[in-house]
Amino acid sequence: MVDLSIDFAGIKSPNPFWLASAPPTNSGYQIQKAFDQGWGGAVWKTVGAPVLNVCNRYGTMDYKGSKIIGLNNVELISDRPIEINLREMRETKRLFPNNAVIASVMVESKKEAWQEIIKQIQDTGVDGFELNFGCPHGMSERGMGSAMGQVPEYTCMVTDWVMDVAEIPVIVKLTPNVTDIVHPARAAVKGRASAVSLINTINSIMGVDVDTFEIQPNVGGKGGHGGYAGPAVKPIALHLLSAIGADKEFAQAGIPISGMGGIETWRDAVQFMLLGSTSVQVCTAVMHWGFRIVEDMIEGMSNWMQDKGFERCSDFIGKSLPRISNFGDFDLGFQSVARIDHDKCIQCNLCYIACNDAAHQCIDLTSMQLSEKTLQNGRPWPVVREADCVGCDLCSRVCPVDDCIEMVEIDTGRPHISWNQLVAQKPEVLEWDKMEEYRKQANIVIH
């Protein structure tokens, strides 16, 4: 049996699966139901300043019959009176002492306001705080949420105020709506945060109704930017996660990260953890399918760990992080070419047209007599001219058949050197004529 439990900056959780602060964690009823079904922790829907919500809060990105590959919202923080939230936090913690209950907080940028609410919530017995510096709409216009998270100095300052009164771990939730996530992450460290979490939602406009010209989501004829989440944002979240994970200054602080953004399956969760998340949070997937998805997440991750020989989460958290590298350090001598398995090929010829129109024209349509199949329909086969293949990989990306086009590593005798090493050794290659010379010598042919 594998052990899924984690210790997140002192917050204990039976597994790494937490509900993100959002509609699924709006009330005690919901969180208790989720814990019953297996969720390890929950970050309470952000409490703080009084708000009023609007109608039509969601817009979705639906793709070719798949609903909600992306979700946009203009929802605000909790609109329930604070006393009710506090009462239910206390009750939930009493009923589920072993699950992680984390209170998300956001108030105006005043020291007293922050310290007072922290003390008030602390009294309920929750396990930790998450400071919402990420909400990109509604709250930011009032100087809260991402308005704070986008200015590292504010992030540091508010964190510092909170740390003065907090007796339990404090997580700073970062906004992705910045040019370089590393700076607010370092600011959180500087403010003595116990951990960080990311990502909150991304600024977005979902679309325009081409019949009515309305913006989606449509709020009584008007619309505006909202926060984007769901499967579509996962690559962005993974990048931001790895960016802070790979930052030396952040790493030195040794504080854990709670990752989120597009997690729907155990596979997604594993990827976040391989890139340095200790816990993972989920919102959109639960909004789409309900709490029940956690059963497969737990089982799937356990099975995977067993297959891989991992006993506990710490065995693999951050395992892929060392591979995150800069372009300048990639091996220029690593060469691959596309090989098409004609036993699997169904002759859709999508690789041909992609290569011909959008890559390097190195797939030919050729009449070949490979099997009886060929004789029957007489259609030509896509065949790679390996000598001309630049190994860009587009063909295998468009191929609809699993494992039909494989990128195989070949040795062309090119020197194994990185760009950084090359320009250090031969700065002259920055001129075109010298570059040409180098290419000749290194057996690099470009057509």
Partner 1 sequence: MAEHFKPVKYRAWEMSLEERFKEVYPPLTQREAEAEANRCLYCYDAPCMVACPTHIDIPTFIKKIGTGNVKGSARTILESNLMGATCARVCPVDVLCEGSCVLREEKPIAIGRLQRYATDYANEREIRFFEKGKPNGKKVAVIGAGPAGLSCAGELAKTGFDVTVFEKRTWAGGLSTYGIVVFREPVEVSLREVKMIQDLGVQVKCGVEIGKDIDFDEIMSEFDAVFVSIGLGRVPQMEIPGEDAEGVLDGLDFIEETKVDRLDKIDVGQRVCIIGAGNTAIDCATIARRLGSERVTMIYRRSEAEMPAYYFEYQFALKEGVSFMFLTQPIEVIKNARGQVEGLKCVRMDLGQPDASGRRSPVRVPDSEFVVPCDRVIKAIGQNKPKDFMDILAPLGVQQAKGYIAVDPATNRTGNQKIYAGGDCVRSFGEASTVMAVQDGKIAAKAIARELVSIEGENK
Q: What is the set of active-site residues?
A: 135
| Helix boundaries (H) for 79-172 | 82-95, 111-122, 146-149, 152-165
Which of 102, 135, 170, 351 touches ligand FMN by CB under 6 A?
A: 135
| Dist CA 396 CA 48 (whole Å) | 50
Which one of partner 1, ligand FMN, none interacts with residue 379, CB within 5 to 8 A by kind? partner 1
Per rule CB under 8 A, is residue 365 in the interface with partner 1? yes
Per rule CB under 6 A, is residue 262 in the interface with ligand FMN? yes
Residue 137 has phi, psi (to 5 degrees) of -145, 150
> Cβ 354 to partner 1, closest distance in Å?
9
Which one of ligand FMN, partner 1, none interacts with residue 400, CB within 5 to 8 A by kind? partner 1
Q: With respect to ligand FMN, which residue has the nearer C-beta, 260 or 429?
A: 260
| Dist CA 156 CA 146 (whole Å) | 13
Which one of partner 1, ligand FMN, none interacts with residue 313, CB within 5 to 8 A by kind? none
Q: With respect to partner 1, which residue has the nearer C-beta, 220 or 400?
A: 400
Site for ligand FMN in 53-82 (CB under 6 A): 71, 73, 75, 77
Compute, in degrees rounded to 10, the torsion defined by CA atoms 292, 2, 239, 236: -10
Q: With respect to ligand FMN, which residue has the nearer C-beta, 297 or 337?
A: 297
Site for partner 1 in 56-85 (CB under 8 A): 64-65
| Dist CA 170 CA 103 (whole Å) | 9
Per rule CB under 8 A, is residue 212 in the interface with partner 1? no
First to last CA, the chain: 55
> Cβ 341 to partner 1, closest distance in Å?
15
> Cβ 366 to partner 1, closest distance in Å?
13
For helices 182-190 and 234-245, angle between their N-to-C axes, nearest 10 degrees: 50
> Cβ 302 to partner 1, closest distance in Å?
32
Which of 16, 40, 191, 261 touches ligand FMN by CB under 6 A?
A: 261
| Dist CA 437 CA 434 (whole Å) | 5
| Dist CA 59 CA 166 (whole Å) | 37
User: In this structure, are residues 420 and 406 in contact, taking their beta carbons and an 8 Å threshold?
Assistant: no
Which of 167, 400, 411, 432 touches partner 1 by CB under 8 A?
A: 400
| Dist CA 105 CA 158 (whole Å) | 12
User: In this structure, are residues 77 and 110 in contact, taking their beta carbons and an 8 Å threshold?
Assistant: no
Per rule CB under 8 A, is residue 349 in the interface with partner 1? yes
| Dist CA 28 CA 38 (whole Å) | 15
Per rule CB under 8 A, is residue 394 in the interface with partner 1? no
CB-facing half-sphere around the CA of 146: CA atoms within 13 A: 22
| Dist CA 344 CA 238 (whole Å) | 33
| Dist CA 385 CA 225 (whole Å) | 48
> How buried is 222 (Cβ within 10 angstroms: 0-12 exposed, 13-18 middle, 19+ buried)?
exposed
| Dist CA 408 CA 338 (whole Å) | 6
- CA dist 93 to 28, 86, 123, Å? 10, 11, 11
Which of 350, 383, 392, 444 touches partner 1 by CB under 8 A?
A: 350
Which one of partner 1, ligand FMN, none interacts with residue 175, CB within 5 to 8 A by kind? none
Which one of partner 1, ligand FMN, none interacts with residue 64, CB within 5 to 8 A by kind? partner 1
Q: With respect to partner 1, which residue has the nearer C-beta, 347 or 418?
A: 347
Q: With respect to partner 1, which residue has the nearer C-beta, 82 or 348?
A: 348
Which one of partner 1, ligand FMN, none interacts with residue 45, CB within 5 to 8 A by kind? ligand FMN
User: In this structure, are residues 200 and 283 in contact, taking their beta carbons and an 8 Å threshold?
Assistant: no
| Dist CA 327 CA 395 (whole Å) | 22
Residues binding ligand FMN: what is the number (CB under 6 A)? 29
Contact pattern for ligand FMN over residues 174 through 213, marking x by CB under 6 A: --------------------------xx------------
Q: With respect to ligand FMN, which residue has the nearer C-beta, 149 or 382?
A: 149
Q: Which residues of this chain interact with ligand FMN, rule CB under 6 A?
A: 20-23, 45-46, 71, 73, 75, 77, 104, 132, 134-135, 173, 200-201, 227, 229-230, 233, 260-263, 282-285
Q: Which residues of this chain interact with partner 1, rule CB under 8 A?
A: 64-65, 346-350, 352-353, 365, 377, 379, 400
